[in-house]
Structure 1
């Protein structure tokens, strides 16, 4: 047996879920975990101060699951970014060796954990494939372009010649990441609240190791969304809150690029225009309204303040940097 195979077989996954007022989806996700023949060794659910019956769902699940469930209820809604930051911190405190980060509106497919484990002897940041609500492959094949500060779709079948597609962007709807890599990067940046926290986390990971997308279907999306087909990819509906943060968080992304010597003012400005154009297209073509434009404007204004904040610092690593 090779060292990689032994590492893969020994890999223990801690599932970290962030949820907010979606107890029905959360119940379905936990049911899919319970149905796995080989699953995670523990589950950590971060409840972002939900006001529905999320706590009752968690109490019932804790009695039915065969693995420990940590119910981490936050006093306020810290968003997906804050939720994952709290969940990752707790997972490390619980002794996690691998963290599987997941939103609440998906279901885990049978055999998913076994499929992912076979890659853990080779890579430290892994994304499996997802199905959409109709059982079709969900498009997620992107690369982050630091010049523009955005991720862009990669055309064609990225698995035509290999079961592994190397990327440099992350997604917290299924990112599997080693605890060692998390300690080098630091916690997810809770200042993002929602939108872009996983993108930049994947990019930071790619500066330390390979970030990959593997040809194994492990999740299915269950939340229905309006969408249109753009040929290269689908464009889903969104919310004004998400639109606001998509623009506002560009300030944080610019600061991360600046820290790593990758910030281009003209390139980033073009990326901001492209981000706004995508959101306008989403409003017009998918949601058939224009009332969300004000959210884009407010987000852009706040991004400018973040970009010019001289006291801004990145999230610190959790282990000292190795000597140079």
Structure 2
């Protein structure tokens, strides 16, 4: 009897980080059990990146005409993998490497989902998305806020790190594009990632949208290791605060407008508590700016925070707003 191997397409979004991409592709090609396909979305449209993709025999290389951010890159990448007919889409940035036996670790979880679906169980009653554990570049556990607070519109900073490390799996309602694994049936229900986010909270909200249509689990099996070191300020025993650019500050605040509209869509929007969440988010960004040793021009950074808040309000009150699933439909193909 042939061993079960999940039909996984790895979807990578990259931008001006060729050496990191090379390292990731090398780690994938060294797997004893590899993916069914690799899709690379290049937001730089670089001939160097295209050459690297060709060197590693990537099944599909997509050069974007403009930088669409992680949100646009993964939206396009999922659409490409869907069109290719694969069942599972494993999403990852270019600054990670795949650990040995990663596919085998995922297979322990995807088998039940594939079996359930083959037996006619709907995607809403089985697990259609997983978030595997990751390691930091120093091999320590990488903490990720796995609970999205619909009341405040932010990931719960108090979600226990010890809990997810102490049990095989934990129910979640958000996702991270650094290792999130999604079944095509879940994508058919939820639609593509919303490219309008550009960066920040795009994966959180995509996971939240997915959670309206399928079950989701954090799994305590390591499949990725981060390969890029970052300056951080420790907050507690597991949490860290990383520096941000002015561009990030703008999107952190602006994208709360999209976040509010998705919460409204699923009837989970609370105006008062969402404002408190916005205040907390702003306070965190001010701490990041003034306390974490940032060398940014403080006045410029404050202008970007204000601009993001202004544009967020415009998005939140836009009567013409529609969820991305209504804006960009999936290509039609047989699985």
Taking the aligned partners of 2:142 and 2:291, their CA distance within structure 1 comes to 20
The change in CA–CA distance for 1:166 and 1:22 in structure 2 (over 3 A counts) is same
Q: What is the aligned counterpart of 1:308 among 317, 324, 329? A: 317
* Corresponding residue for residue 54 of structure 1: 49
Taking the aligned partners of 1:135 and 1:24, their CA distance within structure 2 comes to 20
Any conservation in 1 of the 2:191–2:324 contact (CA below 8 Å)?
A: yes
Q: What is the aligned counterpart of 2:250 among 240, 244, 259? A: 244
For structure 1, the 5+ residue unaligned runs are 63-67, 320-324
Task: Provide Cα deviations, 1:228-271, integer angstroms capped at 9, x if missing partner.
Answer: 11115111122221111111000000011111111111111111
After TM superposition, the structure 1 = structure 2 runs for residues 65-214 of structure 1, keeping only pairs within 5 Å, are 68-120=58-110, 121-122=112-113, 123-153=127-157, 154-159=159-164, 162-214=167-219
Q: Could you tell me the TM-score, scaled by structure 2's length?
A: 0.88
Taking the aligned partners of 1:60 and 1:212, their CA distance within structure 2 comes to 35
Tell me the number of residue pairs that the alignment of Structure 1 and Structure 2 aligns.
Answer: 309
Any conservation in 1 of the 2:145–2:155 contact (CA below 8 Å)?
A: no
> Comparing 289-298 with 248-257, which one deviates more in the overlay?
289-298
Any conservation in 1 of the 2:164–2:218 contact (CA below 8 Å)?
A: no
User: Are residue 298 (structure 1) and residue 298 (structure 2) matched?
Assistant: no
Any conservation in 1 of the 2:131–2:181 contact (CA below 8 Å)?
A: yes
TM-superposed CA distance for 1:128, in Å, is 0.7
Taking the aligned partners of 1:147 and 1:76, their CA distance within structure 2 comes to 35
Any conservation in 1 of the 2:31–2:100 contact (CA below 8 Å)?
A: yes
SS of corresponding position for 2:147: strand
Taking the aligned partners of 2:5 and 2:208, their CA distance within structure 1 comes to 27
* Corresponding residue for residue 286 of structure 2: 280
TM-superposed CA distance for 1:137, in Å, is 0.8
Taking the aligned partners of 1:287 and 1:82, their CA distance within structure 2 comes to 31
Any conservation in 2 of the 1:245–1:299 contact (CA below 8 Å)?
A: yes
Taking the aligned partners of 1:315 and 1:204, their CA distance within structure 2 comes to 10
* Corresponding residue for residue 65 of structure 1: none
The change in CA–CA distance for 1:10 and 1:56 in structure 2 (over 3 A counts) is closer
TM-superposed CA distance for 1:50, in Å, is 3.8
The change in CA–CA distance for 1:296 and 1:61 in structure 2 (over 3 A counts) is same
SS of corresponding position for 2:32: coil
Q: What is the aligned counterpart of 1:32 among 5, 27, 37? A: 27
SS of corresponding position for 1:139: coil
Taking the aligned partners of 1:260 and 1:283, their CA distance within structure 2 comes to 33
TM-superposed CA distance for 1:282, in Å, is 1.5
Cα RMSD of the aligned pairs, angstroms, is: 1.9
Any conservation in 2 of the 1:132–1:221 contact (CA below 8 Å)?
A: yes
Taking the aligned partners of 2:291 and 2:4, their CA distance within structure 1 comes to 47
User: Are residue 43 (structure 1) and residue 49 (structure 2) matched?
Assistant: no
For structure 2, the 5+ residue unaligned runs are 114-126, 331-335
The change in CA–CA distance for 1:160 and 1:56 in structure 2 (over 3 A counts) is closer
Taking the aligned partners of 2:66 and 2:161, their CA distance within structure 1 comes to 42
SS of corresponding position for 1:148: coil
* Corresponding residue for residue 264 of structure 2: 258
